[in-house]
Amino acid sequence: MNPVNLSLYLVLDPDLCGGLDGMVATTRTAVANGVTVVQLRAPQWKKRQWFDAAVALKAVLAGSGVPLVINDHVDIALAVDAEGVHVGQSDLPVAEVRRLVGPDKIVGLSTSNAAQLAAVPLALIDGGIDYIGVGPVYPTGTKKDASPVIAPADFAAMMLAKRCPAVAIGGIALGKVAPLIRAGADGVAVVSAICGQPDVAAATQALFNEITEARA
Amino acid sequence: MNPVNLSLYLVLDPDLCGGLDGMVATTRTAVANGVTVVQLRAPQWKKRQWFDAAVALKAVLAGSGVPLVINDHVDIALAVDAEGVHVGQSDLPVAEVRRLVGPDKIVGLSTSNAAQLAAVPLALIDGGIDYIGVGPVYPTGTKKDASPVIAPADFAAMMLAKRCPAVAIGGIALGKVAPLIRAGADGVAVVSAICGQPDVAAATQALFNEITEARA
């Protein structure tokens, strides 16, 4: 399993960030203030936009130690030599993703309920998947095809059942982080809690502090 | 340049074919009746659907000598070891595509006017691109974001200017093939002239015959 610090996982939304320049600026500020992973996710974009954005984000993240994870498109990840790929249940099968990117890249998989989590074969945990995304844990407006919200008790059960690191996702905002960390999440993924915030630095620091306090 | 017989190039439309089973059946019949290239193009699909369809099409085409070309998604082409990839002007840059697929795969590029054709560097013709798609040559209903129709005189000029094989595309139907071949196209790409036709075998044969007669 490739180690990844899931603590504060930023999923960039191009619209909320105000396009490519906004994504770059948001990333720079967020990484300087505690974000540990950056994911590019732009399902409405053509591949050339993905490529241009991924190249720009790689440059911003160079030397930071923060990995760039590409949502869905393994070809973009390969083209820019991104550190990771994140796929959902309707994307390429994880075993294919791992075969394409090789052993050293981070591979994440979304799971939306206990059944999807249970369906992940142990063989993938041992060689295919480095972490799972679990959500939505709250109602979300930034993912059009989101699954039903996972109830707190069900989320807690998934955290007990999981056999690899997990990041919670979906509608996570300041003040809603601590219960997830206490239930066993290794980190939280946010979109609108950072993208489009009037003060990205302060928003990121506040989220980071909530994670740290919940772990104490 | 990897050689490719562009004569009768089928671009599969999942809706017109009636889903995956229809695409497989259409492909089997079309290849038996003269189609020389099969492209999978499903911009509305998620990657898992692409993958499943590409696996099925590879199986149908096995041993036929007809290459499977994947539109846009290099990761799908790599995952199923397809014979080629076709990209448009808004997709991954051709040089990146070639780097990802290696020297032995077919790479095609769409060009919609003389300026786009002229913008293709000779270096790409020598090492990146195996053929260009040129169109739309007629009004088309199967591509939502199609460019303006290329006038016949402009198409003829592009056929004189081209430095690699070219397949014409866009609204091509029976009776509209011959002028394109006579203007210098190495083949014609069709969608609705085969996909969804009541008699796919007869439709394919008739197109094949029009190509053959135009070349005589």
Nearest CB among B49, B91, B99 relative to A47 is that of B91
Write the DSSP symbol of residue A89: T
pLDDT value at position A146? 83
Binding-site sequence positions of A? 71-72, 91, 110, 140-143, 171, 191-192
A154: contact with B, CB 8 A cutoff: no
Å between B57 CA and nearest CA of chain A: 16
B23 and B57 Cβ atoms separated by less than 8 Å: yes
Which residue in the set A48, A72, A96 is minimally distant from B79, CB to CB? Answer: A96
B95 part of contact set with chain A, CB < 8 Å: no
pLDDT in tens, A17-68: 999 999 999 999 999 999 999 999 999 999 999 999 999 999 999 999 999 9
Residue pairs spanning A and B at CB distance below 8 A: 61
Predicted pLDDT at B87: 97
- Does residue B17 contact residue B26 with C-beta atoms inside 8 Å? yes
Task: State whether residue A87 is helix, strand or coil.
Answer: strand
Smallest CA-to-CA distance from B183 within B159, B211, B162 is with: B159
B91 appears as a binding residue in the annotation: yes
CA atoms within 13 A on the CB side of B140: 26
Structure tokens belonging to residue B188? 């014609």
Q: What is the CA radius of gyration of chain B?
A: 16
Per-domain residue ranges for chain A?
Answer: 8-215
Task: Tell me the nearest-neighbour CA distance from B91 into chain A, angstroms.
Answer: 5
- The dihedral through the CA atoms of B29, B35, B36, B39 has a sign that is negative
Closest residue in B to A98 (Cα–Cα) = B79
Choose the CATH number for B8-215 among 3.40.50.12780, 3.40.50.300, 3.20.20.70, 3.30.930.10: 3.20.20.70
Token pair of B35 as six digits: 């189609």
Do B93 and A48 contact (CB within 8 A), yes or no?
yes
B46:A91 CB<8 A: yes
Nearest-angstrom CA–CA distance, B100 and B113: 27
> Of A49, A51, A92, which has the smallest distance from its Cβ to B51's Cβ?
A92
B183 CB-near residues (< 8 Å, 6+ apart)? B152, B155, B156, B159
CA dist A71 and A47 (Å) reads: 12
| B81: contact with A, CB 8 A cutoff | no
Helices and strands (H, E) in chain A, number of each type: 10, 8
B73 CB within 8 Å of a chain A CB: yes
Tens of pLDDT along A60-96?
999 999 999 999 999 999 999 999 999 999 999 999 9
The answer to whether residues B24 and B60 touch, using CB atoms and an 8 Å cutoff, is yes
Task: Report the percentage of chain B scoring pLDDT > 90.
Answer: 92
pLDDT tens per residue, range B174-211: 999 999 999 999 999 999 999 999 999 999 999 999 99
Å between B41 CA and nearest CA of chain A: 14
The phi and psi torsions of B124 (rounded to 5 degrees) equal -75, -40
Positive or negative, the CA dihedral A123, A125, A130, A134 is positive
